[in-house]
Amino acid sequence: MAVKGPGFPVPVFPASAVDTWGDVQELRARPEVRLVPTPRHASVLLVAGSIPPEHREAVDRVHDQLPHPRATVWWRTDPDAPTRAGRTVEGGPDEVVEAIIAAHLAVAVDPEASEPDRRPDEEAHEWRGVGPNGQGGEGMMGGTPYGRPMAMTGDDRDGLALDQLHLRLGPFLDALPAGMVLDVTLQGDVLQQVAATRPGAPVAAGTTVAPGRQGLHGLAHGLHVQGLEGLAARAAGLALDCGRGREVGPDLVRLRRGIRRSGLLWMLKGTGVSGQVGDAADRWAHRLDRVEAAVGGGAPPESTVLDLDDLGPLLEGRTLGDAITTLVSLDLDLDLVAQGVPR
């Protein structure tokens, strides 16, 4: 169903758990929806997969950040989770796209049907500041405006003693791999400390997803993060075809040519250099080899799988943009291939 007109493609913000992350990436191939990077741009919130209990509050928080009119679509969510407003879908991508369009049209026609806030409309902490700007401290130092302490200075890479900003990124941040939470300490745009966590993926043993399709999901996401939306949509389309059992080998060769012509690998040279696995360009080339081998049914070449604990030392000292580029060039989702994803 291709719908044209104002409000289409429907801007959708996906909050996906680890098990359905790949299927959400396939939606990049659908012309009816557009996956947007922040809830502010979205009309529909797509909650996909079994969200771990510790991230359910984050889903509600993201929901409240969508502007009105807004709607929620729940896709293959945990039936035990507390029920919330919205449409529930169990089927495949066709069904979920239909539900998203229906939800979008329903709130567009009747804005009163927009979903109310799930959390109280009050500041997390009250304003308690004193001083000339209410910051509570002296000058630009100290104090706790809105209950959040001001960033304080510390030693840094460039010897500038800049303020340290502590952020917890994820689990629904567009640029991060499925379900990953990064606790970072930023000074300027340089990551000083990084701790990556990921909730125990509730992945039950079941039918396996073909490694080729899995690789294409990662490829689609990586291309999207690198800003190559057209190529990302093509990779997602190939993943969709893979799921339908079509032969995608020749198309993958064409996609690979497209990636080479985009200059992506050339730009990534020298970025994210790590002792064992070369730079980001090497890793992308290696990943393309592996996807190609997996799609062809051959044995994929050996790859180095990084443990989450090794991520910190790899990302520390890089700028945020460099770190994200490094992160999407790594293969962090291989454990899912082995375990399989339940349908």
Partner 1 sequence: MLSAFGTGLGVAALATVATMVLLGRSHRWGARRSTAPQRVPFLGGFEPETHAWSRYHLRYYPMTLLFIAFEMEMMFMYPWAVVYVQEGVKALAEMGMFLSILSVGVVYGYREGVFRWQ
The residue within the footprint of partner 1, chosen from 3, 105, 113, 173 (CB under 8 A), is: 173
The nearest distance, CB 50 to partner 1, in angstroms, is 16
* Pairing outcome for strands 44-48 and 71-75: parallel
How many residues make contact with partner 1 (CB under 8 A)?
A: 51
- Any idea which residue has 């900003």 for tokens? 165
Q: Is residue 221 a contact residue for partner 1 (CB under 8 A)?
A: no
Q: Is residue 171 a contact residue for partner 1 (CB under 8 A)?
A: yes
What one-character-per-residue DSSP string does 202-261 give? ---S-SPPPHHHHHHHHHHHHHHHTT-HHHHHHHHHHHHHHHTT---HHHHHHHHHHHHH
Q: How far is CA 183 from the centre of its chain?
A: 15
The closest of 246, 225, 232, 233 to 320, measured between CA atoms, is: 225
Beta bridge partners of 274: 278
Q: Is residue 15 a contact residue for partner 1 (CB under 8 A)?
A: yes
Interface characters, 57-86, with partner 1 (x: CB under 8 A): -xx-xx-xx-xx------------------
Stretch that binds partner 1, among 174-182, 220-228, 267-275, 293-301 (CB under 8 A): 174-182
Interface characters, 126-155, with partner 1 (x: CB under 8 A): ---------x----x---xxx-xxxx-x--
For residue 174, the tally of other CB atoms under 10 A from its CB is 15
Rounded CA-CA distance 3/10 in Å is 9
The residue within the footprint of partner 1, chosen from 167, 204, 299, 338 (CB under 8 A), is: 167
Q: Is residue 300 a contact residue for partner 1 (CB under 8 A)?
A: no
Q: What angle do CA 208, 259, 298 make, to 5 degrees?
A: 35
Task: Return residues touching partner 1 (CB under 8 A).
Answer: 15, 38-40, 55, 58-59, 61-62, 64-65, 67-68, 117, 119-124, 135, 140, 144-146, 148-151, 153, 158, 160, 162-174, 176, 181, 187-190
